[in-house]
């Protein structure tokens, strides 16, 4: 990072040192590429740190935090109860999430595109119609209980066939009209 800042300073302070515009352009390009790459790595590290911190720390209610397929399979049975066409190219999917463990389980980060995707019969993916608000992006399933969750997916051009949650594919029943 220090080298990046030094290079950026040199490029900005000594533009006359560049023999031609190409050298200047390549120098600036290199510096900006490094800064952007470092920023993306830092943000990714922050997100991973938050996820790991949530999983390793004990939650206030003692819930197990689920953020991937392996943990989902370990704690939750997922099924799709119904699919309803609610508008042109929009479907509401009702999930059943059953927790057979003796601890509450919290599904987290459902607002991320890779966490919740509806696939049509041709395999084309559709995402949620509206992004989940922070309070909606987690679902807590009480111990030895089940909950229903409903999500609306947009731009579904063909009949829905599969719901992908944390990378796990769940079969979808035939859609009905509202």
pLDDT for 60? 60
C-alpha count within 13 angstroms, C-beta hemisphere, residue 87 = 6
In whole angstroms, how far apart are CA 98 and each of 37, 64, 80, 82, 157?
Answer: 41, 14, 11, 16, 30
Residue 46 pLDDT: 41
What does each of the 178 residues of the chain score in pLDDT, given as a tens digit? 665 565 556 555 555 555 566 666 666 666 666 656 555 454 444 444 444 444 454 556 789 999 999 999 999 999 999 999 999 999 999 999 999 999 999 999 898 878 999 999 999 999 898 877 777 789 999 999 999 999 999 999 999 999 999 999 999 999 999 8
Here the tokens at position 125 are 């993916």
pLDDT at position 135: 73
pLDDT of residue 71: 93
Q: Is the full-model pTM beyond 0.75?
A: no
């Amino acid at each position: 990072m220090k080298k990046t800042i030094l290079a950026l300073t040199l490029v900005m302070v000594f533009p006359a040192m560049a023999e031609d515009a190409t050298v200047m352009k390549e120098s600036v390009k290199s510096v900006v590429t490094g800064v952007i790459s470092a920023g993306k790595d830092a943000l990714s590290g922050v997100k991973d740190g938050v996820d790991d911190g949530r999983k390793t720390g004990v939650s206030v209610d003692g819930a197990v935090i689920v953020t991937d397929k392996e943990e989902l399979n370990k704690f939750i049975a997922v099924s799709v109860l119904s699919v309803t066409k609610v508008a042109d190219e929009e479907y509401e999917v009702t999930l059943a999430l059953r927790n057979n463990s003796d601890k509450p389980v919290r599904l987290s980060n459902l607002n991320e595109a890779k966490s919740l995707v509806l696939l049509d019969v041709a395999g084309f993916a559709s995402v949620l119609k509206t992004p989940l608000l922070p309070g909606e992006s987690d679902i807590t399933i009480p111990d030895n209980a089940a909950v229903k969750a409903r999500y609306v997916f947009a731009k579904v051009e063909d009949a829905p066939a599969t719901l992908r949650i944390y990378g796990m594919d769940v079969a979808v029943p035939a859609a009905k009209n509202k």
